[in-house]
Chain A
Amino acid sequence: MYDTGKVIGGLVVFLILATSPLIFNAMSSTSAEPPELVPPPNGTQQCVMPTEWMRSSHMNLLDQWREDAVRRGDRDFVIEATGETVTKSLTLTCMDCHSNKSEFCDRCHDYLEVAPYCWDCHVAPVEGKEVR
């Protein structure tokens, strides 16, 4: 092969340049800050399901609630931890506590770059100034 040194050297330079963002991130200790979620303003401590489960699976719960309430007319949900009965409703139950949508739902959804279309139709609670 002609110019072995130049070719190999060029390849090495290319690899370093191409992976430079990764190398930079690995060497520096900066990382994207996880979103800071603000708990319900009304002081509620008890969610309808355990917090950890909600963090990962609230969308499944909402999907199930939608199916139950709209199609089966089954609107009552019993919170296992307290035995309390709530209505299966995003706007009436979830948003009743999490009335700070922009500091709760939106922050995490923005961080994860997901855009659920719930709010195309469901009316978000009116917050101080910021309203979507």
Chain B
Amino acid sequence: MMDGSRRSFLKLAGLTALGAAGAAGASTRQASANPEVATEPAHTGTRLAMVVDLRKLDADGEVAKRCIEACHKAHNVPSFNSIKDEVKWIWTEDFETAFHSQEFHFLREDLEHKPTLLLCNHCDNPPCTRVCPTQATWKRESDGVVMMDWHRCIGCRYCIVACPYGSRSFNWRDPRTAENLADPAMRNPEFPTRMRGVVEKCNFCEERLARGEQPACVEACDNDELVFGDLNAPGSKVREMLGRHLAIRRKPGLGTQPEVYYIVDDPATLGAGSDEPAVAEQPEMEGDHA
């Protein structure tokens, strides 16, 4: 009797364990068939993006300077005379530095040190928004802009760590003591300043978009050095540019799907001006390989 009951108990326990293992396996399989991170972006709705035409940016960075000035003035970005306290929404790096992970060897000299405009990439899969404990930053569903709500930011700086592009700055000092903001008359009254202890970054000029205007940096260009528009609209200028030229993005291997594109091809080498999409031809294999 006792043996029998133990035997039946063990049978039952074994069956239960099997069932549990089976259920766990099934749910794992389901999860792997439905990965959390979509590799292919969905082509629905609006997806705002920017194309930086590096061919048109000058070696002295004059155009870039104009863009930076326009942006920082429009958004009351503080400027301190110290790299440690630097706050930036849009800035420049040498091409080589901006794209160091791409490993260009023996790069054309004019390109190597070209001042390249950098800004928040407004990634399709932004790592910064996932780590925010207060939802002070999030990706706007309607157009993909990575937003910030400075009312909510508690200054934990997780997002600064998460961003692989260095697009976020922290206000170590009261921005209103900065040389360009200390005088109230110098502030743009239509946009707030920030306070000490808050993170800030480019917002794709969402306040200007709401008024139907182009971003300030795009407006500061007069020769289409920067082009802004909807990536999901087949006829848009950004799509046309991407369809006709070779464009690269920063650190594509991280899977963040940055939405700022850089056109690097030279008209002479890739035949710009033709309507054909620029695709480098593979040289024919010769000899023994048939």
Interface residues, chain A, CB within 8 Å of chain B? 66, 70-71, 73, 75, 91-92, 117, 120-126, 131
Question: Could you tell me how many residues of chain B have their Cβ less than 8 Å away from some Cβ of chain A?
Answer: 20
Q: Which of A70, A71, A91, A121 contacts B194 (CB 8 A)?
A: A121
Chain B proximity of A102: nearest CB distance (Å): 13
B76–A73 touching, CB < 8 Å: no
> Do the beta carbons of A73 and B192 come within 8 Å of each other?
no
The chain A residue with its CB closest to the CB of B150 is: A121
If over half of B's interface residues share one DSSP class (helix, strand or loop), that class is named, otherwise mixed; here it is loop
Most chain-B Cβ atoms within 10 A of its Cβ — which of A122, A123, A126? Answer: A123
* B190-204 interface code vs A (CB 8 A; 1 in, 0 out): 111111000000000
Query: Would you give the shortest CB distance from B85 to chain A, in whole angstroms?
Result: 18
Q: How many A-B residue pairs have CB under 8 A?
A: 37
Segment among B4-12, B97-105, B118-126, B181-189 that sits at the interface with chain A: B181-189
Closest to A125 in B: B189
Measured in the bound complex, the distance between the Cα atoms of B190 and A125 in whole Å is 10
Whether the Cβ atoms of A70 and B192 lie closer than 8 Å is: no
Main secondary structure, interface of A, reads: loop
Whether, in the assembled complex, B142 has its beta carbon less than 8 Å from a beta carbon of chain A, the answer is: yes
Cα(A70)–Cα(B210), bound, Å: 11
Closest chain-A Cβ to B270's Cβ sits at a distance in Å of: 39
- What are 14 A-B pairs with beta-carbon distances under 8 A? A70-B147, A73-B140, A91-B189, A91-B192, A92-B190, A120-B195, A121-B193, A121-B194, A123-B187, A123-B188, A123-B191, A124-B184, A126-B189, A131-B184
A124, B190: Cα distance in complex, Å: 10
Known A70-B147, A91-B190; 6 more pairs at CB < 8 Å: A70-B151, A71-B149, A73-B210, A117-B195, A123-B184, A125-B189
